[in-house]
């Protein structure tokens, strides 16, 4: 439920006025207060600590724990389950400074239950009144140290609220009372005295808001015969003759004198209208107050007092009021009247709302235990059993009753077995059922047979009749009780203890939804991790701690073990989210933080194993740290484990950072020694923050130049020092680039946060420090005027904050802009001389040559043919990383060093090194692997990786999450099945890809054979790979020298990619590759040769117009026999002419544009010794895959399966990894990977079709009913593992497609293919620049949007918008897709349409990619035009 204006206003006052706000979540659905408070918590107005209590949690206990707060606020949407629990605690809370803000929708019954125990009760009809009363209530509670109940209506979005400024609220609360009470009273219950207290607070509030605040508002006739007291939302502003209206705002205290003041002598009848529909007592509260006051006054004549129910305010008219007054004269005074229709009826026992995220676990339960799952406290039971049905006591009672019934059933079966009169067949059936009574599947099958047999034999014995009566207990059930923060929270308290102590065979699943990042703001008494410790202390309970967004396989294992365990089982399930709108991606990130830090360890404790002499405890977390030591040290079975087997505990808890700390100490000592040698030199400290490495290079170059001028310089990242460290320095220079929307790079964020916090508090710890800042940015990156402030924001903010901290700016802020003539160097060259001059070393003559920066070229030539110090790095166990130079070399071996960026900041904050791991890429020409190879790769993913593997856009596999000590064994396993990883990455020819055309079996085989020959011919010849990874040593030391006949010791300037396409399918995007071979078929259907293309490439650098994507050019035709030689000669021309100075301009595409296409072709032909033949005709009609079954020329069958973005993993209801593993066990053909990241199960014989189809159907892998948009989509990995990612890609694109495909469906385009691709950075791994629609990451949540690519992969797209977020993407695509559906020509694809319709200009060549970017005509981006 979104927050209405009244809820928002009350939440704001509570948040700003209180020390603590306790909010109870609503059983009826999402809490409106939670949404409002969450938005407030992100504002700079830091005030209250907010605690959100799950449904069922005892709010009174939590409030009492915070009773010492100066002001405490409680917020809730009225519900009997929540408010009735408060009644027991109200006597204690009534003397505390607490405001109860209770929102109601229509009925006041639930909220008014609290009024009898509290001294003050305010009622608000409108949003403005709710705002003002919230202030009044806060003032009352604070100044009088008393509790106040404020009841208000949720209202609707149309209401307007004039709010008090934030900075005026605190002075209002803390000010002295405006009107003294005369004498101090410790405590009073006298209504008149309480009224004076109210009036004092109201007087102060009126002075603040400048609006009247009255206990009641009277309007209508001046000499009435009837008075209507109203307590409800209706505003009866009618002119009814003889009728006066009194709208009550102060429900308590309500002295008789105040009531009587509204009843003039002319009044003969009083009607009390209350919006109360479910009051349990005969008389309503306001009616009792009014009738009591009139009776005590002994008026003459005494007015008749009648009670009435106020109905739906929106349906009441003036005539309804007149009819009510007339009817009141005709019915007995005791009769209950009604004004207006009752509110729409609601089921009193409606099922509680179950948050959608909980389906992550309930679906797993349903899939695992299909047909026998029984959730004992299922929300659906509420409709028939009442609200008690979700409580643990109810569920446990159900379990006990069912188990006792089944015991009776078993006894009856035993008794019937002893009956000599039964048939042999029945006797056998009874015995078999007893043997399999606990087997979920067999007990059901045998139970059905047994019941049918008993009915057939028509036995009259009591045992037989008993079995038939209890036949529903014949199948074994898997009984579960679910503890949810949303609808059965109290399971984590006494209910759980009862379940454990009962020793019943029942399983308890407890969901913990506390996000890791807000764990410290949660009530410590709600730590659900301790539930597991308590259960393990009991000794005979199975306990598991799981997290589905961390390890799906571990969840499955834990649930199955719990089900098999004979006794109570407790499974703790982590599901961190704040609201139902929390994206699954955020849940994933929170889970990873919790598991990595040890906050939520994954484990299983099975006492049954201990009874068998096996280890009962299994730790399933991949990364654990010192928090787990505390976890183990508690008094439970884990601490017993550490005492009995201390070496096991040490292995479990050993922090990966201990050796790292020791290494840091050694480096610190070395640095200290170096400092002593330069003690007389003036000091200069250079601190940098850099993501891409550019700011780091500038900082290190600056430090080197400082040394050459005689300064004692040190250089480090910002996050490696504290503010206290900086305060001890004399001169500090900061160099920073920008990440995201003006944010600091990763290794400077903690320092920046500390600086901001100190500046906010007004502290000045840097008063003795001289500083200067140089920032690097790109003004073109933020073209829109409203975004211009993001340019170099990190540097600007740091410069301003350091000055606020007292630092002396000795050189003005320097800014380097990528758009200047020399890029950032333009600004840097102007700033650096000022620095040396200010330090007095500008006149120092530098005679020593500045060290040349180490580049990839230096690393390659010094590596001894790709050896470097990789072997030594693998043996270094002090860190999970390799040396920086080695990480450049491992790419040639198919390995990238990465770290988990989801948890990078958290680990850095804890002083641990990043969670380093490695990506391994397999070399697999043509993307073909055997079933045996598939099974090994699947095993490697589980044993060495993160349990998943990915099909890449280059038809091979990638493993992620391989830690350093597993690298060697993983690569050895890959080689064991005749695959390798050599040259899968690096400055060499990479994996050669081939079109997958299952229907053209012979042609594909010929093209595949050619691709393998090219791959083998262009393979590096170094023996380093076999030496390092396969332990194959060189003979006689250095007697055998490596040589690279093609590459030489420098290898290529940059990566080199080759593809083979088989028209009409361009699924490999032939024009995106350095070299392409387009298959040309002769009249017999055989491969005649190839049209050769060259110069394709995708990589771009944001803001650098010297970089651009390029589509390859057709050079000519060659025969199959000539093809390998042609590929070699093109590569050699690139080797000798490519740019080795600037890697951003080193690809073949830039070499061709620099040389000219004709000159390049001539050089290739010169080296070949012959000219290429003229290109032959060919046609492409698509670059996407054809899904489903096809039959090849040889009669074999092939199935193309949709694997979204190539990620092979098991998920709820999508166990694709298991499916493919099971298929690989029986498949006799092969697997082919497509360049669009999908999988083809090929060469299935007709007789094997039923088996493969059965497995596909069983695991739902045969589902190809996705939308055309989704089937045509592709994404790179990006976060969390790719170090280059600037935004999400693989994890976000499916979410975006969910929303875009709805637009397509609205316009009848569900099955129409639109090629949409996304990458997390501009390097273009998913080939976005050839897509019809593409998004390229610029910052978290921000993308470059491109349009107009060719559907056949024949044309580059163009930048349409330079910065878009999701709302802007949807706003752009909605009218565009609608127009496409209405105006497209027959057969016209989306990329062609947006050009014809004038949205974007076509891109005719790579160098013209930036021309006319930003849209055309009326669709042109204003910022680009400017």
Six-digit token string for 636? 């439970």
> Residue 1112 is inside which H or E element, if any?
none
pLDDT tens, residue by residue, 972-1005: 999 999 999 999 999 999 999 999 988 787 899 9
| Residue among 990, 1135, 1327, 1361 flagged as catalytic | 990
- Look up 1057 and say whether it is catalytic: yes
Maximum mean pLDDT: which of 498-507, 728-737, 812-821: 728-737
Those residues with Cβ within 8 angstroms of residue 1038's Cβ, 6 or more apart along the chain or in another chain: none
1401-1421 mean pLDDT: 92
Please confirm, yes or no, whether 923 is among the known catalytic residues. no
Terminal Cα distance for the chain, rounded: 42
Torsion of CA 670, 676, 679, 684, to 10 degrees: 10
Tell me the three state secondary structure of residue 714: strand
| 639 neighbors 648 (Cβ within 8 angstroms) | no
What are the pLDDT digits (tens) for 274-323? 999 888 788 899 999 999 999 888 787 889 999 999 988 788 888 999 99
Residues 34 and 134: their CA atoms lie apart, in Å, by 17
CA distance 601 to 1035: 48
Q: What is the structure's pLDDT at 382?
A: 81
On the 0-12 / 13-18 / 19+ scale of CB atoms within 10 A, 635 is exposed
* Spatial distance between the Cα atoms of 1107 and 1337, rounded to a whole number of angstroms: 16
Residue 135's nearest CA partner among 69, 204, 74, 76 is: 204
Place of tokens 């009350």: 10
Q: What angle do CA 1343, 1349, 1352 make, to 5 degrees?
A: 135
Statement: residue 614 has pLDDT above 90: no
User: In the prediction, which pLDDT does 176 show?
Assistant: 64
Residue 545: per-residue pLDDT: 93
Cis peptide, bond prior to residue 1035, ω within 30 of zero: no
Helices H / strands E in the chain, number of each: 50, 48
Residue 1122: what pLDDT? 97
Whether 1055 sits among the annotated catalytic residues: the reply is yes
Distances (CA, A) of 629 to 536, 598, 643, 656: 17, 9, 13, 13
pLDDT of res. 44: 65
656-661 own/partner pairs: CB under 8 Å, 24+ apart: 656/623, 656/625, 656/880, 656/912, 656/913, 657/625, 657/911, 657/912, 657/913, 659/877, 659/878, 659/879, 660/878, 660/879, 660/912, 660/913, 661/911
Q: How many CB atoms lie within 10 A of CB 769?
A: 20
How far is residue 948's CA from residue 970's CA, in Å, rounded to a whole number? Answer: 14
For CA atoms 291, 294, 297, 302, the dihedral sign is negative
Candidate list 1055, 1129, 1161, 1207, residue with the active-site label:
1055
pLDDT grade for 644, boundaries at 50, 70 and 90 = very low
Give percent above pLDDT 90 in the chain: 62
For the chain, the average pLDDT equals 88
pLDDT tens digits, one per residue of 916-968 = 999 999 999 999 999 999 999 999 999 999 999 999 999 999 999 999 999 99
- φ, ψ for residue 537 (rounded to 5)? -60, -30
pLDDT at 623 > cutoff 80: no
Q: Span 552-580, mean pLDDT?
A: 91
**Rg of the chain taking only CA atoms, in angstroms:** 38
Cis omega (within 30 of 0) for bond into 867:
no
Catalytic pick among 12, 406, 907, 921: 921
| Structure-block tokens of residue 792 | 């170099």
Instruction: Tell me which of 929, 985, 1118, 1276 is the catalytic residue.
Output: 1276
| Mean pLDDT within 379-404 | 84
Give the integer Cα–Cα distance in Å for 126 and 233: 8
Q: Which of 1321, 1327, 1355, 1358 is catalytic?
A: 1321
Q: How many CB atoms lie within 10 A of CB 243?
A: 21
C-beta of residue 527 within 8 angstroms of C-beta of residue 500? no
**What percent of the chain is predicted at pLDDT more than 70?**
91
pLDDT value at 662 more than 80? no
Could you give the CA distance from residue 913 to residue 863 in angstroms, rounded to a whole number? 27
Looking at the predicted structure, is the pLDDT value of residue 421 above 90? no
The DSSP 8-state label assigned to residue 984 in this structure reads S
Contact 769, 726 (CB under 8 A): yes
Q: Are 1322 and 1108 in contact (CB under 8 A)?
A: no
**Higher-pLDDT residue of 847, 444:** 444
Is the N-terminal amide bond of 558 cis, ω within 30° of 0? no
| Residues pairing with 715 in the sheet | 686
User: Which helix or strand (DSSP H or E) is residue 379 part of?
Assistant: none
- Burial class (CB within 10 angstroms; exposed 0-12, middle 13-18, buried 19+) of 835: buried
| Cα dist from 1363 to 787, 911, 1316, whole Å | 9, 35, 17
Q: How far is CA 140 from the centre of its chain?
A: 42
Structure tokens belonging to residue 875: 């043996």
Give the CA distances from residue 1331 to residues 1346, 1355, 1357, 1363, in Å, rounded to whole numbers and listed in that order. 8, 9, 7, 18
Phi/psi region, residue 1243 (left: phi>0; alpha: psi -120 to 50; beta: rest), is left
pLDDT of residue 656: 36
Instruction: Return the beta strands (E) in 1214-1321 as ranges.
Output: 1214-1215, 1230-1233, 1239-1244, 1273-1275, 1316-1319
Lowest-confidence pick of 213-222, 674-683, 739-748, 1169-1178: 674-683
Marked catalytic residue, from 749, 1282, 1304, 1361? 1282
pLDDT (tens digit, 9 = 90+) per residue, 1023-1075? 999 999 999 865 444 445 688 999 999 999 999 999 999 999 999 999 999 99
Give, to the nearest 10 degrees, the angle between helix 637-644 and helix 646-653. Answer: 110
Pairing of the two strands 72-77 and 98-104: parallel
Buried residues in 475-484 as b, exposed as e (16+ CB within 10 A) = bbbbbbbbbb
* The one catalytic residue among 901, 1057, 1149, 1232: 1057
Q: Is the distance from CB of 1163 to CB of 1154 less than 8 angstroms?
A: no
* Residue from 129, 99, 94 nearest 15 by CA: 99
Alpha-carbon gap, residue 750 to 728, rounded angstroms: 19
In whole angstroms, what is the distance from residue 1249 CA to residue 1251 CA? Answer: 6
Q: How far apart are CA 1403 and CA 629, in angstroms?
A: 60
Q: Residue 597 — very low, low, confident or very high, per pLDDT cuts 50/70/90?
A: confident
Q: Above 70 in pLDDT, residue 67? A: yes
Question: Encoding tokens for residue 482?
Answer: 């679910």
Q: Minimum mean pLDDT among 79-93, 1093-1107, 1260-1274: which range? A: 79-93
Q: Name the burial class of residue 1037, with classes exposed (0-12), middle (13-18) and buried (19+) by CB atoms within 10 angstroms of its CB.
A: exposed
Candidates 730, 739, 660; CA nearest to 695 is 739
- Catalytic residue status for 1282: yes
Q: How far is CA 197 from CA 135, 181, 187, 422, 666, in A?
A: 15, 7, 11, 86, 69
Among the listed residues 929, 985, 1304, 1325, the single catalytic one is 1325
329 labelled catalytic: no
Confidence of residue 57 (pLDDT cuts 50, 70, 90): confident
* Known catalytic residue at 985: no
Handedness of CA 1214, 1219, 1221, 1227 (dihedral sign): negative
**CA within 13 Å, CB half, 51:** 25
Q: How far is CA 451 from CA 429, 471, 1236, in A?
A: 10, 7, 54
| Cβ 378 vs Cβ 395: under 8 Å | no
| Sequence-ordered list of residues with C-beta below 8 angstroms from that of 909, at least 6 positions apart, any chain | 750
Q: Give 43's DSSP letter.
A: S
């Amino acid at each position: 439920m979104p927050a209405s204006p009244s809820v928002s206003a009350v939440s704001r006052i509570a948040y700003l006025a209180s020390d603590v706000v306790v909010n109870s979540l609503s059983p009826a659905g999402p809490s409106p207060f939670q949404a409002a408070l969450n938005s407030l918590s992100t504002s700079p107005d830091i005030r209250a600590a907010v605690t959100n209590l799950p449904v069922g949690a005892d709010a009174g206990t939590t409030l009492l724990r915070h009773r010492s707060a100066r002001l405490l606020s409680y917020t809730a949407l009225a519900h009997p389950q929540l408010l009735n629990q408060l009644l027991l605690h109200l006597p204690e809370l009534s003397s505390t400074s607490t405001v109860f803000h209770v929102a109601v929708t229509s009925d006041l019954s639930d909220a008014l239950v609290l009024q009898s125990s509290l001294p003050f009760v305010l009622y608000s009809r409108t949003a403005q009144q709710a705002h003002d009363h919230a202030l009044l209530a806060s003032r009352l509670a604070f100044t009088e140290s008393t509790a106040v109940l404020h009841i208000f209506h949720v209202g609707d979005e149309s209401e307007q609220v004039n709010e008090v400024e934030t900075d005026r609220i605190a002075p209002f609360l803390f000010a002295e009372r405006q009107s003294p009470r005369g004498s101090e009273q410790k405590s009073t219950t006298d209504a008149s005295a309480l009224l004076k207290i109210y009036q004092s607070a109201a007087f102060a509030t009126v002075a603040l808001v400048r609006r009247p605040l009255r206990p009641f508002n009277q309007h209508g006739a001046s000499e009435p015969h009837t008075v209507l007291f109203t307590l409800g939302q209706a505003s009866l502003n009618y002119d009814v003759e003889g009728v006066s209206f009194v709208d009550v705002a102060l429900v308590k205290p309500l002295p008789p004198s105040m009531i009587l003041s509204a009843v003039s002598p002319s009044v003969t009848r009083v009607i009390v209208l209350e919006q109360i529909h479910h009051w349990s007592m005969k008389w309503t509260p306001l009616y009792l107050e009014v009738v009591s006051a009139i009776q005590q006054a002994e008026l003459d004549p005494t007015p008749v007092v009648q009670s009435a129910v106020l109905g739906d305010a929106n349906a009441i008219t003036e005539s309804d009021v007149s009819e009510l007054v007339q009817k009141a004269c005709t019915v007995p005074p005791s009769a209950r009247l009604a004004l207006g229709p009752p509110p729409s009826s609601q089921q009193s026992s409606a099922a509680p709302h179950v948050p959608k995220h909980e389906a992550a676990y309930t679906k797993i339960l349903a899939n695992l235990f299909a047909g026998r799952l029984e959730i004992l406290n299922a929300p659906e039971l509420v409709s028939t059993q009442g609200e008690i049905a979700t409580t643990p006591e109810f569920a446990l009672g159900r379990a006990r009753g069912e188990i006792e019934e089944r015991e009776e059933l078993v006894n009856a079966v035993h008794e019937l077995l002893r009956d000599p009169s039964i048939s042999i067949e029945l006797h056998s059936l009874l015995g078999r059922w007893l043997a399999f009574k606990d087997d979920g599947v067999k007990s059901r099958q045998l139970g059905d047979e047994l019941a049918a047999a008993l009915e057939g034999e028509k036995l009259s014995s009591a045992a037989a009749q008993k079995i038939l009566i209890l036949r529903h207990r014949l199948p074994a059930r898997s009984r579960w009780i679910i503890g949810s923060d949303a609808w059965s929270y109290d399971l984590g308290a006494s209910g759980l203890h009862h379940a454990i102590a009962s020793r019943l065979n029942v399983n308890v699943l407890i969901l913990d939804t506390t996000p890791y990042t807000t764990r410290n703001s949660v009530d410590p008494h709600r730590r659900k991790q301790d539930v597991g410790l308590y259960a393990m202390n009991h000794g005979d309970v199975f306990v598991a701690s799981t997290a589905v967004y961390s390890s799906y396989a571990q969840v499955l294992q834990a649930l199955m073990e719990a089900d098999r365990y004979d006794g109570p089982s407790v499974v703790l399930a982590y599901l961190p989210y704040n609201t139902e709108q929390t994206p699954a991606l955020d849940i994933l990130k929170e889970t990873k933080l919790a598991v990595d830090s040890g906050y939520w360890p994954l484990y299983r404790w099975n006492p049954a194993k201990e009874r068998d002499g096996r280890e009962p405890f299994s730790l399933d977390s991949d990364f654990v740290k010192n928090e787990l030591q505390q976890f183990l040290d508690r008094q439970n079975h884990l601490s017993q484990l550490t005492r009995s087997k201390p070496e096991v505990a040490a292995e479990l808890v050993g922090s990966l950072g201990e050796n790292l700390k020791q290494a840091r100490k050694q480096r610190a000592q070395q640095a200290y020694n170096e400092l002593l040698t330069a003690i007389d030199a003036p000091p200069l400290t250079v601190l940098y923050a850099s993501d891409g490495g550019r700011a780091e290079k500038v900082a290190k170059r600056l430090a080197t130049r400082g040394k050459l001028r005689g300064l004692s310089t040190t250089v480090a990242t910002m996050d490696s020092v504290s503010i206290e460290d900086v305060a001890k320095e004399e001169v500090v220079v900061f160099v920073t680039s920008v990440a995201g929307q003006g944010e600091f790079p990763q290794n400077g964020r903690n320092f920046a946060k500390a600086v901001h916090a100190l500046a906010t508090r007004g502290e000045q710890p840097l008063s003795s420090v001289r500083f200067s800042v140089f920032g690097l940015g790109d003004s073109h990156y933020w073209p829109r005027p409203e975004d211009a402030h993001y340019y170099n924001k990190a540097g600007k903010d740091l410069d301003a904050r350091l000055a606020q901290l007292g630092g002396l700016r000795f050189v003005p802020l320097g800014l380097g802009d990528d758009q200047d003539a020399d890029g950032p160097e333009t600004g840097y060259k102007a700033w650096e001389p000022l620095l040396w001059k200010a330090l007095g070393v500008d006149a120092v003559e530098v005679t020593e040559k500045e060290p040349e920066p180490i580049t990839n070229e230096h690393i390659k030539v010094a590596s001894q043919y790709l050896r470097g110090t990789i072997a030594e790095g693998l043996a270094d166990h002090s860190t999970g990383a390799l040396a920086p130079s080695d990480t450049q070399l491992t790419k040639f071996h198919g390995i990238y060093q990465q770290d988990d960026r989801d948890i990078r900041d958290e680990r850095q904050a804890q002083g641990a090194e990043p969670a380093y791991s490695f990506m391994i890429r397999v070399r697999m020409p043509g993307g073909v692997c055997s079933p045996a190879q598939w099974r090994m790769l699947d095993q490697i993913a589980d044993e060495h990786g993160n349990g998943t593997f990915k099909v890449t856009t280059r038809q091979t596999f990638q493993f992620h999450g391989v830690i350093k000590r597993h690298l060697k064994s993983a690569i050895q396993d890959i080689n064991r099945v005749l695959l390798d990883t050599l040259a899968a990455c690096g400055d060499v020819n990479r994996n050669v890809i081939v079109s997958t055309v299952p229907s053209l079996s012979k042609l594909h085989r010929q093209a595949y054979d050619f691709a393998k020959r090219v791959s083998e011919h262009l393979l590096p010849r170094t023996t380093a790979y076999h030496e390092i990874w396969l332990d194959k040593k060189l003979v006689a030391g250095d007697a055998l020298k490596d040589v690279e006949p093609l590459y030489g010791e420098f290898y290529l300037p940059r990566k080199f990619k080759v593809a083979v396409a088989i028209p009409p399918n361009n699924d490999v995007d032939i024009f995106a590759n350095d070299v392409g071979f387009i298959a040309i078929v002769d009249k017999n259907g055989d491969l005649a040769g190839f049209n050769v293309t060259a110069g394709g490439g995708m990589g771009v650098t944001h803001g650098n117009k010297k970089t651009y994507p390029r589509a390859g050019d057709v050079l000519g035709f060659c025969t199959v026999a000539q093809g390998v030689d042609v590929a070699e000669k093109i590569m050699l021309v690139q080797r000798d002419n490519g740019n080795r100075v600037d890697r951003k301009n080193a690809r073949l595409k830039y070499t061709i544009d620099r040389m000219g296409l004709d000159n390049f072709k001539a050089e290739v032909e010169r080296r070949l010794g012959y000219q290429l033949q003229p290109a032959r005709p060919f046609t492409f009609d698509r670059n996407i895959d054809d899904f489903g079954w096809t039959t090849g020329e040889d009669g074999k069958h092939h199935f193309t399966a949709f694997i979204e973005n190539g990620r092979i993993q098991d998920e709820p209801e999508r166990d694709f990894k298991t499916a493919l593993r099971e298929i690989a066990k029986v498949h006799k053909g092969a697997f082919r990977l497509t360049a669009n990241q999908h999988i083809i199960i090929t060469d299935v014989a007709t007789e094997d079709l039923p088996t493969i189809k059965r497995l596909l159907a069983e695991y739902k892998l045969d589902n190809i009913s996705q939308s055309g948009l989704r089937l045509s989509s592709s994404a790179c990995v990006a976060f969390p593992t790719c170090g280059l990612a600037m935004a999400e890609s693989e994890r976000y694109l499916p979410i975006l497609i969910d929303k875009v495909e709805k637009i397509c469906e609205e316009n009848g385009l569900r099955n129409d293919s639109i090629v949409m691709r996304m990458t997390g950075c501009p390097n273009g791994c998913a080939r976005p620049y050839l897509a019809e629609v593409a998004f390229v990451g610029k910052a978290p949540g921000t993308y470059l949007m491109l349009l107009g690519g060719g559907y056949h992969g024949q044309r580059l797209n163009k930048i349409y918008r330079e910065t878009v977020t999701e709302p802007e993407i949807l706003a752009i695509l909605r009218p565009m897709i609608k127009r496409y559906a209405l105006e497209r020509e027959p057969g016209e694809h989306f990329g062609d349409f947006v050009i014809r319709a004038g949205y974007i200009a076509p891109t005719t060549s790579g160098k013209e990619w930036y021309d006319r970017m930003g849209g055309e005509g009326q669709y042109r981006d204003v910022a680009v035009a400017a």
